[in-house]
Amino acid sequence: EAGVAQSPRYKIIEKRQSVAFWCNPISGHATLYWYQQILGQGPKLLIQFQNNGVVDDSQLPKDRFSAERLKGVDSTLKIQPAKLEDSAVYLCASSLNRAGFSGNTIYFGEGSWLTVV
């Protein structure tokens, strides 16, 4: 079974530029998450989708970050304009259904490493 796919793996941009990350979850997984992991810290949830609807985006900096999952499968996370503090790994994850229902396991991709200079 294919895992969670993410691209690009690495990206270096200058501050104020824009960047987009793509995620393809495990086939059949209804729930999709984007996490931000700053070096030396644990991942922090940015946004959670259930199919193509947003469940939680309370920690997403909406003035510069946006995310969509138009057809309930692939998702894109965009940052515009980027700031130095956005340098982090952006992890996409998916689960069959919501993790709070019977503790569905959340599977993670390898992440997209962003450096803003």
Binding positions for other proteins, rule: CB under 8 A: 33, 35, 40-45, 48, 55-56, 58, 89, 91, 93, 98-103, 105-111, 113
**Which residue in this structure is represented by tokens 């499968």?**
73
Q: How far is the CB of 16 from other proteins (least distance, A)?
A: 26
Nearer to other proteins, 40 or 71 (CB): 40
Q: Enumerate residues 6+ apart whose C-beta is below 8 A from 77.
A: 20, 21, 23, 34, 46, 47, 65, 66, 67, 90, 92
Q: Whose Cβ is closer to other proteins: residue 64's or residue 98's?
A: 98
| Shortest distance, position 28 Cβ to other proteins, whole Å | 17
- Least distance in Å: CB of 84 to other proteins? 21
